Amino acid sequence: MTPPCSPNPSTDFTEVNVTAKVSKPLNEVDTLSADRHTASGHAQEVIKSLDVECLEMTDNIANDESGLSFTPLVVIELASNTEEDAVKWLTKRISDKKEDGGADLKITALPRAKEDLSNEKRKLYLVGASKERLLLGAEEVGLVKECNDGPMRTFTCSNRNSFKGFEDNKDDFLSMAECQYIIKHELDSLRAKSETMIPGYPQISLYPGKSIHAIRHYFGETISIYFGFLEYFTFALLPMAFIGVPYYLFAWEDYDKYVLFATINLLWSTVILEFWKRHCATLAYKWGTLVRKKEFEEPRPGFHGVLGKNPVTGRDEPVYSSTKRHLRIYLVSVPFVIFSLYISLCVMMVYFVMEEWVLEYNNSHQSFWSSLLLFVPSIIYAIVIEIMNRIYRLVAEVLTGWENHRLESSYQNHLILKVLVFNFLNCFASLFYIAFVLQNMHLLRQSLATLLITSQIINQIVEAFLPYWLQKRYKRRMHSKMSQVIKYKELPWVEDVELETSMSTYFGTFDDYLELFLQFGYVSLFSCVFPLAALFAVLNNLTELYTDAFKMCRVFKRPFSEPAANIGVWQVKGIAQGPNRAESLLAFTGLEPATFRLLVQIPSLRATTPPDIHQTES
């Protein structure tokens, strides 16, 4: 894109692509030149005369026999081999109204004389805008203008008459440079809406994106904040991913650099949570949920009891004794959680027995297959962990519902507490045991990599391939019901309602946040021994964005909107990992050889000699 006038008439329309930057306006270029070379009044006169000449040229273009109805401000040149369908599509998007996804600008092909055949293949288009459209654009880009009373303020169309130099019957309020800047801003802001490809170029796919505000408009604050956190967390992982790659390649056995990486990891994990709280508060403020509070939360639908009267609201609602609820919690739920943790620890010890057996077998049978066998116990253990987590989740839901909590918030807090305690111990206990007790860096690295990658593969299968299979089954049902619709000639909206009833029910963001919580634990607690953990997390989250969007739009029924100002208790649990991150830093400091020798010299801290599998690496 170029401005429509230039000091050199022979280079008015230089060849650029459609995404090129707009050249500097004439008056700006000459002003810089004049300030650099001379301070005389003669330079200012030259600039003024050239500026007037430029404006007169554009006015002449608009008023000559070519029939243009607007003043051209920018020239777009497309490649000479651009398909006509693509040209029509682009020009239509530029001229469409804003509410239709266009830029609401004026565009036309450059008129040429019939005898001018030298540039007949060049595709040049003049772009302009009405005065009202330029004023709206000035407000959108935030131009600052001088007011009648002296101060500089951001321009607004509603107060246009309060700005100095504005007159309805004149067009000189905005400078040429400002008009061209507004045009370029509008062209750069064009985005694909419903298009999936560029006309004439089927091999070029368009992926129409949805902003976080569009997600909030359709799904509500709870879902939009989840996608906002997923996007934020993915970008926050990039620095650790970039740092982790060279650490993995060049500092694999340097224990001092492990400690340095753990320190950086500790600071990073603390800082990103604080920045997220600020970013989340900004979104909640824009959506009006930051200060929105429920004075009296209604009882959840699953709450049951004898019908009574609420002493605060005076409404009739079920009443249930808190003593009975506490007895159920402390006599049934708590023992079950403790028993489940004991089972998890027993499974962990079986895993270490398998590791020891496999290591002994590899030492006695040195071969390629025996070396591959070293990864089998970790893979089996990772699969067992995922199975145990899902079984425990189902039982925890039943127990929490049986406790009969009155409020939905109380129900969610007790469920999250049960699930997090078990998942944290089930996923991280073996890693802490290796780090603190066995002090085997090689085994810790191998276990972390296997647990992280295996869990991500399983989650992708459950969240991507399984929804895809459900969606294919949904399509088959749709085709079968379409034949019935045609046969009985039912109304289309009735068909849509019936088809959507076959879709699965979305039970909230609990599982999605739980997955991110565990991923955050792997990266923040143990990535210093496996620096590629952040990189694998980024790759997983990139696919997670699309799979979650797919299942929300194509697999599950749309959930009811719930107002939310943050990610709730998950943010508190993420901050609560801070002491664990500090303990991990101390643990890896203790694994450093000099520190370990110091601990061994102290009788009260001397550890017994472990078996071969437990030997510390030199």
pLDDT tens, position by position, 426-435: 988 998 888 8
Q: How many CA atoms lie within 13 A of 131 on its CB side?
A: 10
Can you tell me the mean pLDDT for 565-586?
A: 61
| Mean of the per-residue pLDDT values of the chain | 75
Q: At what angle do helices 510-526 and 408-433 cross, to 10 degrees?
A: 30
CA distance 418 to 333: 9
Do the beta carbons of residue 420 and residue 489 sit within 8 Å?
A: no
pLDDT for position 326 = 92
Residue that has been written with the tokens 């500097």 in this structure: 24
pTM tops 0.75: no
CA distance 61 to 200: 32
pLDDT for position 255 = 62
pLDDT for position 584 = 53
Query: Residues 395-427: pLDDT tens digits?
Result: 999 999 999 998 888 888 899 889 988 998 998
pLDDT for position 67 = 60
Query: Residues 472-523: pLDDT tens digits?
Result: 776 666 555 545 544 444 445 666 666 666 677 787 888 888 888 888 888 8
- Specify the range with the lowest mean pLDDT, choosing from 157-161, 291-295, 409-413, 489-493: 489-493
Closest alpha carbon to 589 in 257, 243, 251, 240: 257
Closest alpha carbon to 523 in 254, 240, 247: 240
Query: Residues 222-243: pLDDT tens digits?
Result: 899 999 999 999 999 999 999 8
The conformation of residue 206, written as its DSSP 8-state character, comes to: -
Q: Which two tokens stand for residue 557?
A: 């029924």
Q: Which residues have a Cβ under 8 Å from the Cβ of 169 and sit 6 or more positions away? A: none
Which residue has better confidence, 123 or 588?
A: 123
Query: Residues 264-284: pLDDT tens digits?
Result: 888 888 889 889 989 988 888
pLDDT for position 312 = 74
Query: Residues 297-347: pLDDT tens digits?
Result: 678 888 888 888 877 777 778 888 889 999 999 999 999 999 999 999 999
Do the beta carbons of residue 430 and residue 381 sit within 8 Å?
A: yes
Can you tell me the mean pLDDT for 389-393?
A: 91
